[in-house]
Structure 1
Amino acid sequence: MKLPGNIEGLIKAQNGLDSTAFAEYFTPEATVSDEGSSYVGREEIKQWIEQATEKYQMQMKPINFTQTGARADLTVEVTGTFPGSPAVLQYHLDLEGTLIDSLKIVG
């Protein structure tokens, strides 16, 4: 499966447990929605992914990717130290150029 560079980079940053690099793939005003909570801006996104990664040691494996214009859907298998691992999650993304402006995680 061929992934755009920004999506490959996001997955690589997650799997490398690099929350700073992960957050850099988002616009400065980006939003993330996950498990009923929302995070706004790179700093909140960085803190969210850092805490989740420390707690669950998550690794992502892409299963499917589709993109139409500025909207993209990424299906991933996430493994980690959380109950029910592995889990298949849907990442619904709104893109702004090469950056992510919105990410909604559904699983």
Structure 2
Amino acid sequence: MKLPKIVEDLVQAQNNLDNVAFAACFSETGEMIDEGKPYKGRIAIQDLIAETNEKYRSVMKPLAYTENGTASVLAAEVSGTFPGSPAVLKFHFNIMDGEIQYLKVTG
């Protein structure tokens, strides 16, 4: 499966547990919704990922990717030290100019 470079970069950053590289995939004003909570801007996203990496040590295995204009969805198997691991999650992206503007993670 062919993923856009920014999505590949995000998956690689997560699999390396690199919260700085993960946040760098977002625009300066990018937003991420995780477990129903919004995180706006790279610093907030970086802090969230640092905390979740410390707790859950999650890695992603892409399963499917669909794209429709600037909107896309990545289905990935996520495994780590969280209850119910592994789980298939969906990552709903809005990508513009090679940066993630918006990402919502759903179960």
Shorter-chain TM-score: what band?
A: over 0.9
1:38 offset after TM fit, Å? 0.8
Name stretches of at least 5 consecutive residues in structure 1 with no aligned partner: none
Deviations 1:31-86 (A, max 9, x none): 11111211000000000011001100000000000111111100010000000000
TM-score by length of 2: 0.98
RMSD: 0.6
> Is 1:104 the counterpart of 2:104 in the alignment?
yes
Map 1:66-85 → 2, pairs under 5 A:
66-85=66-85
Name stretches of at least 5 consecutive residues in structure 2 with no aligned partner: none
Identity %: 46
Map 1:1-107 → 2, pairs under 5 A:
1-107=1-107
The 3-state SS of whatever aligns with 1:84 is coil
Amino acid at match of 1:24: A
Moved segments of 4+, more than 6 Å: none
TM-score by length of 1: 0.98
The number of residue pairs the alignment matches comes to 107
The 3-state SS of whatever aligns with 2:62 is strand
The 3-state SS of whatever aligns with 2:11 is helix
Which whole-Å CA distance do the structure 1 matches of 2:64 and 2:43 have between them? 28
